[in-house]
Amino acid sequence: MRNFLSVDDVEDVEKLLQKALKLKKEPFEDSALGKNKTIGLIFMNPSTRTRLSTQKAAMNLGMNVMIMNLDKEGWALETQEGIIMNQNTVEHIKDAAAVMGRYCDIIGIRSFPKLVDKLEDYSEDFFQKFVKYAKVPIVSLESATLHPLQSFADLITIHEHKTKDKPKVVLTWAPHIKPLPQAVANSFSEWMLKGNVDFVITHPKGYELYEKFTGSTPIIYDQNEALRDADFIYVKNWSSYNDYGQVLSLDSNWMLTNEKLEVTNNAKVMHCLPVRRNIELSDEILDGPDSLVVEQAENRVYSCQAVLKEILIENFN
């Protein structure tokens, strides 16, 4: 593995899953692997879990970690080629990325979409430019369209808690007061398509995701029907892809409650966090026995550690 930007960078998802489970049992077995190697974590947006779990994963592998909130602490970056930089941007991404590539052996980046121009966001220009100019392995800490470290942690969590070989997994849209990216939902979909699960998506009309990520996954617009016999329910808000970046519904009936779980197969409930309580997901579920949200967050360490281990072995040994 050179870069980790999507599930397509993983040669064998099942093998990587088994490696992550082993690392969870023995997190320090490769503590010399990353000796004298440096990972730089570059954040253009806030983070709690991604920042801390990636740092912990790198430290478990013996790596040095440098973290920069580039949006607040660095120079404003220009991304357009050939532009006359006489406005507010101070440094071109090609110069900044090239320099960071000299300081770091691996670079992790978080850069959210602006949710204004679909073509610009879905081109993943920011990440592609880092790949091109930094010339070191790049790990997505959540891009404009995908959040693969989260989805891999979600797959690990489902594997740990499933009670049948092929569980039914439902991705359900939930209300939110602000327009959020589609990245978590896109990414979860493409990882579920690689897993041994029966996958269904439910959302109000108008919230269809990009088919590149959802493939032929059934969409059931009636949430109660979609939840029937579910083993896992993944709750997430996203803004519209077709009516790009718009909030089309604030319907609180889409918030999951214990009553809605009655038609499921004792479903476990997942969310990547942060979550707006009693808007996206009810207190009674988050504080109840069916929630896996903390387990998912814990597994962020091992999804990341498995990925960093692969990159270290394949690029530096």
Q: Residue 254 corresponds to which amino acid?
A: W
Residue 24 or 94 with smaller CB distance to ligand CP: 24
Please report whether residue 47 would count as binding ligand CP according to CB under 6 A.
Answer: yes
Please report whether residue 50 would count as binding ligand CP according to CB under 6 A.
Answer: yes
Interface with ligand CP by CB under 6 A: which range of 42-50, 99-107, 247-255, 303-311? Answer: 42-50
3-state secondary structure string across the chain: CCCECCHHHCCCHHHHHHHHHHHHHCCCCCCCCCCCCEEEEEECCCCCHHHHHHHHHHHHCCCEEEEEEHHHHCCCEECCCCCCCCCCCCEEHHHHHHHHHHHCCEEEEECCCCCCCHHHHHCCHHHHHHHHHHCCCEEECCCCCCCHHHHHHHHHHHHHHCCCCCCEEEEEECCCCCCCCCHHHHHHHHHHHHCCCEEEEECCCCCCCCHHHHCCCCECCCHHHHHCCCCEEEEECCCCCCCCCCCCCCCHHHCECCHHHHHCCCCEEECCCCCCECCCECHHHHCCCCECHHHHHHHHHHHHHHHHHHHHHHHHC
Residue 10 or 149 with smaller CB distance to ligand CP: 149
List 98, 247, 273, 279, residue binding ligand CP (CB under 6 A): 273
From CA 145, how far away is CA 187, in angstroms rounded? 8
Please report whether residue 246 would count as binding ligand CP according to CB under 6 A.
Answer: no
From CA 144, how far away is CA 139, in angstroms rounded? 13
Please report whether residue 303 would count as binding ligand CP according to CB under 6 A.
Answer: no
Q: Are 111 and 41 in contact (CB under 8 A)?
A: no
List 36, 48, 128, 196, residue binding ligand CP (CB under 6 A): 48
Please report whether residue 31 would count as binding ligand CP according to CB under 6 A.
Answer: no
List 5, 37, 49, 227, residue binding ligand CP (CB under 6 A): 49
| Number of residues in contact with ligand CP under rule CB under 6 A | 9
Instruction: Kindly state the smallest distance separating residue 270's Cβ from ligand CP, in Å.
Output: 11
Each residue 166-205 as x (binds ligand CP by CB under 6 A) or -, in order, gives ----------------------------------------
Instruction: Kindly state the smallest distance separating residue 53's Cβ from ligand CP, in Å.
Output: 8
Instruction: Kindly state the smallest distance separating residue 48's Cβ from ligand CP, in Å.
Output: 4
Interface with ligand CP by CB under 6 A: which range of 59-67, 77-85, 272-280, 283-291? Answer: 272-280
Instruction: Kindly state the smallest distance separating residue 74's Cβ from ligand CP, in Å.
Output: 19
Residue 264 or 296 with smaller CB distance to ligand CP: 296
Residue 50 or 214 with smaller CB distance to ligand CP: 50
Instruction: Kindly state the smallest distance separating residue 177's Cβ from ligand CP, in Å.
Output: 17
Q: Which residues are at the interface with ligand CP (CB under 6 A)?
A: 47-50, 142, 150, 272-274
